[in-house]
Amino acid sequence: MEKTSIARGIRYGIVGGLIGTIVTDLVSLVIFLIIGESLPDFYTLFGRSFLTLFNLQADYPLWQGLTLHYSIGILTGLVVGILTQRISWLKFNTYRRSILIAVIITQIEGLTLFYLMSLILKIPQSEMMIVYIMGIFLHTIWGTCLGSILCFGQQRGVLKFNDSSVSY
């Protein structure tokens, strides 16, 4: 595998992870405004679960939650970007395929992290159902953004001139 394709996977993975996280946050903001809930309070759950895992405390761990949320989004994009360049059956050669694979990866990751958060904070599963439902919806959006950007990056990496492939 060429170093340029790995670098391209890293670049587009980071961009896809960041853009997917921003789009998901904007949609979350609208949803929380409609249902009358607080988006910052939702991020404090992330921060509180992270701090509790390490037996630490903070009064209002909003920034820890936001940092964790964006770090997970960017790192997931990075890892998926590398994997699409290293594993042949993960090639994102069509938008449909790339979106499907990215959505599956983000759903598995998101639901697993929400489940772990409920265990760490000892939240009953019955109270987590709305979080799981919103997570499925929002991670579908996130995976769609990530898959689209990675597919765009992969297709952009090969240009055809006079029936010869030239990578840049």
Residue-wise pLDDT for 93-112, tens only, equals 789 989 999 999 999 999 99
Give a yes or no: residue 168 inside a domain.
no
Report whether pLDDT(30) > 80. yes
Position 66 in a domain: yes
Rounded distance between C-alpha atoms, residue 109 and residue 113, angstroms: 6
Residue 166 lies in a domain: no
Residue 78 lies in a domain: yes
For residue 119, give the H/E element and its range.
Answer: helix 95-121
Instruction: Tell me if 167 is assigned to some domain.
Output: no
Per-residue pLDDT of 88-98, as tens digits, reads 777 777 899 89
- Dihedrals phi, psi of 143, to nearest 5 degrees: -65, -35
Q: Any residues with CB less than 8 A from the CB of 39 and at least 6 apart, and which?
A: 25, 28, 29, 32
Asked whether residue 70 is assigned to any structural domain, the reply reads: yes
In this structure, what token pair is assigned to residue 39? 């988006």
Whether residue 164 is contained in a domain is answered as no
Whether 165 maps to a domain, the answer reads no
Residue 143 has pLDDT above 50, yes or no: yes
Q: How far is CA 134 from CA 25, 27, 79, in A?
A: 12, 11, 24
**Count of domains observed in the chain:** 1
Mean per-residue pLDDT of the chain: 88
Residues spanned by the domain of 123: 3-157
Residue 162: pLDDT over 60: no
